[in-house]
Chain A
């Protein structure tokens, strides 16, 4: 089964990132219609009916979240586009912004209409320099074309859009940390409630959505909820841009209908591990999702099926590990990432990630005792559900799963003094052998 390109339609069209080409291909017509002919509530209903689920990780209904914002009132409302994309394995938003920035700008403008927001921000991770520049240019074009600014298309509606660059902190992708960062503070998550929809940026009601989520908006409003629901499954309507990487021959982004077998993504599209290697484990939804094994390849790629399989679709990023990869090493890499990125605000995450890294380090160095493995496992349990935000859980879940599902491999390391394991297991082959990469 091939890709189903909706957001990625025309993705390789030269100059798609310019407003002219985008408009030639039908761009901004939906915005014009929405601002000229539609009521905010119509737009909102369309989005709610479409069943579009958040593409940033939580998978919460986009329309419903927008409907949580109070209607009317003097208080200024905000829309924040979450373009922090920092979860290992995820690189879909990067491509969407780099190749089709106006699709996002149009989506933001329409979503802002639905949420009655008059100020919007795109919080883009600081590493995405190129994409930040492209967005800046697109925003300027959109202002000049009158799609942003004051009294848009004579609708008496205003929208100011600012591209705000982060400076290197995964946690800023967490929606409330993003708000603190945007307010100029350290990017620490906030206590919820109050939820951003009620009290978010500068204390005002705020809608926060992922780049891909918002890029879907123009298509839904243009073609209707029913049309959108004709893609994907009942509980996971639409398409999904999936980032596939790791031990596959054609790593990259593939846009597919939600619900296709994961195997097709990993093998048919990304080319699988290649020459006689087998999938040993894979993260189905970014490094935060509990790993699945080679036996789970036929799990449909949808929010609900992944949940049933004991994992999650998350940001929709598949990282494949074949039999050459050391799971304990992979667990250590994973833990290291979350330890490095923990903001330090809450105790279980700050100390738990730190402790886990130390213990896994001893495991991979062959210095750990069997008891340590139990402690590793129980520390993960002690983290899950006890943190301020889910960053802690995001380490504990995959690491816990790895220890559970591949315990034997961990135990093997306990007694050997040989620390070479890692290196042998790590490298899958030099890029030049990795097949065609466009």
Chain B
């Protein structure tokens, strides 16, 4: 969001005076006219909502006692369909959910993973929070920007997309994987620990649609930090899972 205001409204420059020396806003003389309508709850037929999206959102709403609870899932569905939360997508979801698009935009703009502006197709979130930073998170972000051709400064403040809109790289707060530090989340999958070279490799794999860094994937790692200890006797004789 740009923090701008409704466009197309004649600006209230100070104009004729009402005799008392104080300027009178033109609104009082000829009135102002919006060039776009306000956005109330749209009707579905006005939004051209694809059936599968409508059905998906209706199914999501049915999971909750209150349809509003489906707002985040519905926005995920919109983002999945259009790549980001486009104004049209938001209007479609709003029509199905019977809420105002403003309501959904307000929700979307609150969350880091929902994009209210266009972003590159593949999303690389590089953790630059404390633990990863200590282990080279910043450098990893440098490397990804380098490899993807994204602007480093922008990537440090909300993200940057590559020219061809293939990649979106952004520094991110702790992703809950400090054991992999420095790490990154690529299209929702966690990888780490990563070195600069891994960034290049990953970007190539993304562009060529091949599996990304197979041997660095969290999904493939064993769990606990240390080796399996001898079970504590109290645990050994314990019932239950």
Q: Do A and B come from one complex?
A: yes
Among the stretches B6-14, B203-211, B224-232, the one at the interface with A is B224-232
Judging by beta carbons under 8 Å apart, are A337 and B107 in contact? no
Minimal Cβ-Cβ distance residue in B for A337 = B173
The reply on A245 being an interface residue by CB < 8 A is yes
Judging by beta carbons under 8 Å apart, are A254 and B106 in contact? no
Judging by beta carbons under 8 Å apart, are A165 and B195 in contact? no
Interface string of A9-26 (1 = CB under 8 A from B): 111100000000011011
The reply on B45 being an interface residue by CB < 8 A is no
| Known contacts A26-B241, A186-B110; A269/B226 CB under 8 A | yes
Interface residues of B in 71-119 (CB under 8 A from A): 71-73, 75-76, 106-108, 110-114
Rounded to whole angstroms, the CA-CA distance of A100 and B240 in the bound complex is 13
Minimal Cβ-Cβ distance residue in B for A160 = B63
Judging by beta carbons under 8 Å apart, are A244 and B229 in contact? no
CB neighbours (8 Å) of A128 from chain B are: 176
The reply on B34 being an interface residue by CB < 8 A is no
CB neighbours (8 Å) of A255 from chain B are: 224
Overall SS of chain B's interface: loop
The reply on A437 being an interface residue by CB < 8 A is yes
Least distance between A239 CB and chain B CB atoms (Å): 9
* Residue from the list B111, B174, B225, B230 in contact with A89, Cβ < 8 A: B174
CB neighbours (8 Å) of A27 from chain B are: 240-241
Judging by beta carbons under 8 Å apart, are A227 and B113 in contact? no
Judging by beta carbons under 8 Å apart, are A254 and B112 in contact? no
Minimal Cβ-Cβ distance residue in B for A2 = B229
Judging by beta carbons under 8 Å apart, are A251 and B231 in contact? no
CB neighbours (8 Å) of B230 from chain A are: 2
Rounded to whole angstroms, the CA-CA distance of A88 and B63 in the bound complex is 31
Judging by beta carbons under 8 Å apart, are B73 and A88 in contact? no
* Residue from the list A103, A254, A319 in contact with B226, Cβ < 8 A: A254
* Residue from the list A95, A127, A427 in contact with B135, Cβ < 8 A: A427
CB neighbours (8 Å) of B219 from chain A are: 130
Judging by beta carbons under 8 Å apart, are B174 and A185 in contact? no
CB neighbours (8 Å) of A127 from chain B are: 113, 125, 175-176, 185, 188
* Residue from the list B174, B185, B235 in contact with A6, Cβ < 8 A: B235
CB neighbours (8 Å) of B192 from chain A are: 431
Judging by beta carbons under 8 Å apart, are B131 and A167 in contact? no
Judging by beta carbons under 8 Å apart, are B240 and A165 in contact? no
CB neighbours (8 Å) of A340 from chain B are: 173
CB neighbours (8 Å) of A35 from chain B are: none
The reply on B38 being an interface residue by CB < 8 A is no
Rounded to whole angstroms, the CA-CA distance of A427 and B142 in the bound complex is 14
Least distance between B173 CB and chain A CB atoms (Å): 5
Judging by beta carbons under 8 Å apart, are A165 and B72 in contact? yes
| Known contacts A88-B131, A88-B174; A106/B136 CB under 8 A | no
The 14 sampled A-B contact pairs (Cβ below 8 Å) are A100-B241, A167-B75, A169-B110, A183-B66, A218-B241, A219-B240, A222-B238, A222-B240, A246-B131, A253-B223, A269-B225, A319-B131, A430-B136, A438-B221
Instruction: Report the 4 A-B pairs with minimum CB-CB distance, sorted nearest first.
Output: A252-B225, A222-B240, A27-B241, A168-B112
Known: A29-B240, A88-B178. 18 other contacts (CB 8 A): A2-B230, A5-B224, A5-B229, A26-B239, A27-B240, A89-B131, A89-B178, A91-B177, A106-B241, A162-B64, A165-B76, A166-B111, A231-B234, A250-B225, A253-B179, A427-B134, A428-B136, A431-B194
Q: Which residues of A contact B (CB under 8 A)?
A: 2-6, 8-12, 22-23, 25-30, 76, 85-91, 93-95, 98-100, 102-103, 106, 119, 125-130, 162, 164-170, 181-187, 202, 218-219, 221-223, 227, 230-231, 243-247, 250-255, 269-270, 283, 287, 317, 319, 321, 325, 330, 333-334, 337, 340-341, 343, 426-432, 434, 437-438
